Structure 1
Amino acid sequence: MRFYSYDYVLSQISSSNWVLGGIILVILVAVAVVSFQYYYRKKDSKYRELFIILIIGLMLSILIGISQFQTNQASNSQYQTSLHFIEVVSNELDVDKTDVYVNTSAETDGAIVKVGNQFYRAISGSDPDTYLLEKMDLYKADVELVEVEK
């Protein structure tokens, strides 16, 4: 059973995708260059066709970027919830948050929490900041602690 550290969950929160932004910027520059070429050489249809292809590529890249942004936002929201859960548990048990490990990096209800040699099952309450921690013993558990790779 894998248990994830606070720093590992924090590292899973993705930043914006700069590669896709760079591709969009390159396509924008290409559209500008081709549009100037098309304006000055109106009889040459290759620039018009290239302009149309680049505009379609630009629209496709922007739509892909929007889709990735929405996916990343949903994923980041789950990881933020897990981070908050670890912080609440560490405050409740009066331990450092780096000593708290959870067996899931996204869901919190029903998660198993490892603090030192103790294991707890978390049951969420009516308030997002309240959890019932039920002490439990794991038998023949293969515990693997996942830390951030440096």
Structure 2
Amino acid sequence: MVFYTYQYFENKVHSNTVLKYIIIISVLVLFFFLIVKYLQNRISSKYRDLIIILILIIILMLGINYSEYNQSKTNSAQTSEMLSFIQKMSTDKSISVENILVNSTYLYDGIVIRLDRTYYQVNFDSGFKFYSLKNVELLVSDIEIKEE
């Protein structure tokens, strides 16, 4: 069973997408370069064909980025909910956030958390506002901790 630390969720919120932006900027620079070359040589059709291909690539990239954006919004909301839950659990139980581990990246009824060295199953109400804890027994050898 994999458990995630508070630090893992904080790092996930601040993830870096530099490579994606470099590719987008490169394609746009190439697009504008080809437009200039086409306007200089209107007789040559090779630039026009390259511009059409590049427009199709840009449309494809926009579709992929829109899909990633929607997924990113969902992941960000789930991560924020989990961070809030860990902080609330920390204040309720007077435990440092570093001593709280959870076995999921999003909230659901029945997740397992570790407070200090004790494992609990968390049962939520229908609105995820209130919770109750039930002590559970886990084999320590089956546990992996992600802190990235």
Please say whether Structure 1 and Structure 2 have the same fold, judged by a TM-score greater than 0.5.
yes
* Equivalent-residue separation in structure 2 for 1:127 and 1:139 (angstroms): 28
Distance 1:34 1:139, change over 3 A: closer
Who is 1:142 aligned against? Answer: 141
Against the structure 1 CA distance between its residues 56 and 140, is the aligned structure 2 distance closer, same or farther, given a 3 Å change threshold? closer
Give the superposition deviation at 1:15: 3.1
Do 2:121 and 2:136's aligned partners in 1 also have CA atoms closer than 8 Å? Answer: no
Change (3 A) 1:100 1:80: same
1:36 aligns with 2:36: yes
Partner letter of residue 98 of structure 2?
A: T
Query: Is 1:55 the equivalent of 2:69?
Result: no
Partner of 1:89: 89
Identity %: 25
TM-score normalized by the length of structure 1:
0.85
Q: Which secondary structure does the structure 1 equivalent of 2:110 belong to?
A: coil
Cα distance in 1, alignment partners of residues 102 and 124 from structure 2: 14
Contact kept, 8 Å, 1:114 with 1:120, in 2: the verdict is: yes
Task: Name 1:98's counterpart in structure 2.
Answer: 98
Equivalent residues of 2:2, 2:146 under 8 A apart:
no
Unaligned ranges ≥5, structure 2: none
Report which stretch shifted further, 114-123 or 137-146: 137-146
Report the counterpart of residue 125 of structure 1 in structure 2: 125
Is the Cα contact below 8 Å between 2:110 and 2:121 reproduced in 1? yes
- Spell out, residue by residue over 1:38-69, the C-alpha distance to the aligned partner (whole angstroms, 9 max, x if none): 11211111111111111111111121111111
Work out the CA distance in 2 between the residues paired with 1:27 and 1:100: 44
Match of 1:75 in 2: 75
Q: Which moved more, 1:6-15 or 1:93-102?
A: 6-15
SS for the counterpart of 1:105 is coil
Contact 2:119 2:138 in 1 (8 A): no
Structure 1 gaps of 5+ residues are none
TM-score, normalization: structure 2?
0.86
Contact 1:79 1:106 in 2 (8 A): yes
Cα distance in 2 between the residues matched to 1:6 and 1:118: 17
| CA deviations over 1:112-134 (Å, ceiling 9, x no partner) | 11112222221112554421122
| Aligned Cα root-mean-square deviation (Å) | 2.0
- Distance across 1 between alignment mates of 2:98 and 2:108: 17
Q: In the TM superposition, what whole-angstrom CA distance separates every residue of 1:78-102 from its partner, at most 9, and x where no partner exists?
A: 2221111111111111111111111
Distance (whole Å) between structure 2 residues aligned to residue 90 and residue 131 of structure 1 = 14
| TM-fit CA distance, 1:105 | 2.1
